[in-house]
Amino acid sequence: MLKGLRDFLLKGNVVDLAVAVVMGAAFGSVVSAFVKDLLTPLIAAVAGKPSFEHLQFRINNSVFLYGEFLNAIVSFLLVGTAVYFFVIVPMKAVLERMAKPVAPAAPATKQCPECLSDIPLQARRCAYCATPQAMAPAAL
């Protein structure tokens, strides 16, 4: 029974998943700190209002804290923007540089010299004008 548990825990997928969760949490804290400590004060310097958390209204002794909701929306948008511009765009550029160029596919058709229609390479006559065609060289 313990051997089965050990085998399960030491499988590659479980270990990879655990590492991904830990790295994701660490990366999440880095992005959150970047947004909270750099981007939010920058917006506050431009807009003049650093936080919306004190915005609220009351109806029948119920307090609606819509300012905290606005803070959460702004934080979400800033985190998404930071991840896109500082992670996704650079990674896409790196992957494009590392990608091997794809060779163009060999043509499957040729053009009839008489009627200029596309016909298969192996055709002996044009399907449109019945002109005899020169045979394509055999594939090696």
Average pLDDT in the 92-121 region?
87
Give the predicted TM-score (pTM) of the model.
0.48
Residue 135's domain comprises 107-140
| CA-to-CA separations, 93 to 87, 114, 131, in angstroms, rounded | 10, 47, 50
How many folded domains does the chain comprise? Answer: 2
pLDDT at 140: 44
Please indicate, yes or no, whether residues 94 and 111 belong to a single structural domain of this protein. Answer: no
What is the per-residue pLDDT across 39-62, written as a single tens digit (0 to 9) for each?
777 777 777 766 677 778 899 988
Same domain, 81 and 125: no
Q: Are residues 15 and 83 in the same domain?
A: yes
The answer to whether residues 15 and 67 belong to one domain is yes
Which candidate, 106, 42, 109, places its Cα nearest to that of 74? 42
- Supply the mean pLDDT for the chain: 80
Tell me the torsion sign for CA atoms 111, 117, 121, 124.
negative
Same domain, 68 and 130: no
Q: Is 127 a residue whose pLDDT tops 70?
A: yes
Same domain, 92 and 121: no
* 54, 16: one domain: yes
